């Protein structure tokens, strides 16, 4: 079965500090994609960053980067220089490739950036 687990329901970080959100997943597929989506109070889900499983290099998007550990099936999100606008629910998601186009989501981590 394909699963995504986020073990941190809530986290808090001071503005300008760095925070890491955890995600583990399980899949028997070799080719898959991992995503982090952000859901601010506006409720719209926005893609933050994505990683292709066959790429060893960790993805980076400005202040956002991932630590992708394929053997450990871990996909954590690091937010550097946290800003108040980063306050949101963050969802880790997996697409395990092949013929499926559905995303499997984790339960989310609510991040609060404190001034």
Partner 1 sequence: EPEVTQTPSHQVTQMGQEVILRCVPISNHLYFYWYRQILGQKVEFLVSFYNNEISEKSEIFDDQFSVERPDGSNFTLKIRSTKLEDSAMYFCASSVDGPQVGEKLFFGSGTQLSVL
Considering only residues 13 through 32, tell me which ones interact with partner 1, judged by CB under 8 A.
none
Phi/psi at 47 (5° precision) = -70, 130
Q: Of 2, 50, 67, 74, which one interacts with partner 1 (CB under 8 A)?
A: 50
Chain centroid offset of residue 30 CA: 19
Residue 101 interacting with partner 1 (CB under 8 A):
yes
Residue 44 interacting with partner 1 (CB under 8 A):
yes
| 47-56 core/surface letters (b: 16 or more CB in 10 A; e: else) | ebbebebeee
- Size of residue set near partner 1 by CB under 8 A: 26
Residue 107 interacting with partner 1 (CB under 8 A):
yes
Is residue 51 a contact partner of residue 66, using CB atoms and an 8 Å limit? Answer: yes
Residue 103 interacting with partner 1 (CB under 8 A):
yes
């Amino acid at each position: 079965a394909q699963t995504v687990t986020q073990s941190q329901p809530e986290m808090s970080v001071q503005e300008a500090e760095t925070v890491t959100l955890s995600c583990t997943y399980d899949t028997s597929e070799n080719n898959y994609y991992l995503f982090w989506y952000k859901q601010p109070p506006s409720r719209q889900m926005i893609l933050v960053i994505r990683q292709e499983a066959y790429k060893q290099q960790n993805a980076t998007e400005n202040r956002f980067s991932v630590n992708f550990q394929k053997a450990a099936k871990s996909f954590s999100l690091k937010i550097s220089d946290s800003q108040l606008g980063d306050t949101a629910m963050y969802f880790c998601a997996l697409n395990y490739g092949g013929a499926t186009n559905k995303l499997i989501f984790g339960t989310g981590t609510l991040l609060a950036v404190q001034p």
